[in-house]
Amino acid sequence: RKYVLDLLDETGMLRCKPADSPIEVNHHLGSGIGDPVDKERYQRLVGRLIYLSHTRPNIAYVVGVVIQFMHDPRASHLEVVHNMLRYLKSAPSKGIFFSNHGHLRLEAFTDADWAGSGDDRRSTSGNCTFLGGNLVTWRSKKLTVVARSSSEAEYRAMAQGVCELLCLKLLLKDLGIIHERSMRLYCNNKDTTNIAHNPVQHDRTKHIEIDRHFIKEKLDQKLICTPFVSSENQLADVFTKRLSCKQFNCIVCKLGMRKLEGEYTITNSLGILSII
């Protein structure tokens, strides 16, 4: 909370109006569009937000977007950064809440926004991993290559999710905790899930052959299972695309993010923020 309040104070955003989400749904960003802004100031501000995103998964996707324009920031990019600050003002202490759910199940949600970038049509993959019902790792990353199909983008996200689960399982083993149950990997793409279980090789899946065999191997070993999850309950969406305020806040709540208990904000007649 102190880091957020200091950041708002240093940027002169204490008097701003709070925002309900870190980015607008209809906000389309691109390179070289709009008036240039102070590059050093933009990079310093985004750098502060990168540090903050290590404990705030709710801004991870937007931070990943604005990072792409560090070399040539424009007014539209800076506006998104300012909108993130307005969103942070709405709940300076919001963070991950860890609680005892009575189990130590490993679960992961994976998703990909196929060809979501307007500049180079690269996809953004995202995943989040839960241990005992608590969020422990998350990732929002633009792919380094152009995915030729939605299945390829989804498979890359699924492969990364499997790796996260396997790493956490090994970590638990080092701590003396044996995780014997199949780890759940949730995906809302039925076609991708069906291909993962299908041992027959098709011409249309040759470009994702390595990821397909990797996932199929773990399925055969019963290390993972891939139950279907509806789009409404796909928690990884918050790491891959712009969402409506209602959907965004619903997913953030399901991720286990809470305000500091008893905190609420007051803005006086001069627009100065107070935290109680």
Query: What confidence tens digit (pLDDT) does each residue in 47-59 have?
Result: 999 999 999 999 9
Maximal C-alpha separation, the chain: 68
Nearest residue to 184 (alpha-carbon basis) of 99, 100, 101, 109: 109
- Does residue 75 share a domain with residue 51? yes
List the CATH number of the domain containing 187: 3.30.420.10
Flag whether 118 is in a domain. Answer: yes
Q: Which domain holds residue 62?
A: 1-93
- Does residue 111 share a domain with residue 63? no
- Does residue 214 share a domain with residue 141? yes
Q: Which residue is associated with the tokens 């290590």?
A: 54
On average, the pLDDT of the chain sits at 88
Flag whether 265 is in a domain. Answer: no
- Does residue 219 share a domain with residue 121? yes
> Whats the size of the chain, residue-wise?
276
pLDDT at 155: 87
Flag whether 253 is in a domain. Answer: no
Q: How many beta carbons lie within 10 A of that of residue 251, not counting itself?
A: 23
* C-alpha pair distances (Å), 265 with each of 127, 142, 230, 236: 32, 35, 35, 29
Between β-strands 265-267 and 273-275, what pairing exists: parallel, antiparallel or unpaired? Answer: antiparallel
Flag whether 245 is in a domain. Answer: no
Flag whether 254 is in a domain. Answer: no
Query: What confidence tens digit (pLDDT) does each residue in 113-142 have?
Result: 998 887 889 999 999 999 999 999 999 999
Could you say which of 93, 122, 137 is where a domain stops?
Answer: 93
- Does residue 216 share a domain with residue 110? yes
- Does residue 228 share a domain with residue 117? yes
- Does residue 137 share a domain with residue 235? yes
Flag whether 21 is in a domain. Answer: yes
- Does residue 131 share a domain with residue 47? no
Flag whether 75 is in a domain. Answer: yes
The H-or-E segment that residue 161 falls in is helix 150-174
pLDDT band at 87 (very low <50, low <70, confident <90, very high): very high
In a 3-state reduction of DSSP, which class is residue 116? coil
- Does residue 136 share a domain with residue 60? no
- Does residue 145 share a domain with residue 75? no
pLDDT at 263: 58
Flag whether 53 is in a domain. Answer: yes
> Is the pLDDT score of 9 beyond 90?
yes
Could you say which of 69, 93, 117 is where a domain stops?
Answer: 93
Domain count, the chain: 2
- Does residue 231 share a domain with residue 142? yes
Could you say which of 93, 127, 145 is where a domain stops?
Answer: 93
- Does residue 190 share a domain with residue 66? no
pLDDT band at 199 (very low <50, low <70, confident <90, very high): low
The H-or-E segment that residue 107 falls in is strand 106-113
